[in-house]
Amino acid sequence: MLVFRQIPLGLLSLVVLAATAGSGRAADPVTLTLKDHHFVPTEVAAPAGERFRIEVTNQDPTPAEFESSDLKVEKIVVPGGTIGVMAGPLKPGKYTFFDDYHPEATGALTVAEKKD
């Protein structure tokens, strides 16, 4: 028979903190803006081997769709809205993205090893 005991909240917090200490801080988000049916900037970067967040803000008066076959993501961004998606960890290379509703809106994410 298993016996469960209550763990004080403070001790539980220390256990969770210790378990996640080796994982480090997440990379800064990659931010993109859709304006006049184009991504600004068109080229962004992220570190290899880490999870990171991509945030896309749509400043256009029409919906957009942030899509990337390379990143396996597809998400609608309403006018004036912002979406966030998690990506990675990725190997070094170039990953393209586009707005499925406006083919002129394209861009690329370059993933490179971190320089110490």
Q: What is the pLDDT of residue 114?
A: 81
Q: What is the CATH number of the domain that holds 55?
A: 2.60.40.420
Domain that holds residue 38: 26-112
- The total number of structural domains in the chain stands at 1
Q: Which residues contact 31 (CB under 8 A, 6 or more apart)?
A: 44, 54, 55, 56, 57
Q: Taking a C-beta distance cutoff of 8 angstroms, is the pair 48, 89 a contact?
A: yes
Residue 40 within any structural domain of the chain = yes
Residue 103 within any structural domain of the chain = yes
**Which tens digits make up the pLDDT trace of 41-52?**
999 999 999 999
Q: How many beta carbons lie within 10 A of that of residue 74, not counting itself?
A: 13
Residue 18 within any structural domain of the chain = no
**Which tens digits make up the pLDDT trace of 52-91?**
999 999 999 999 999 999 999 999 999 999 999 999 999 9
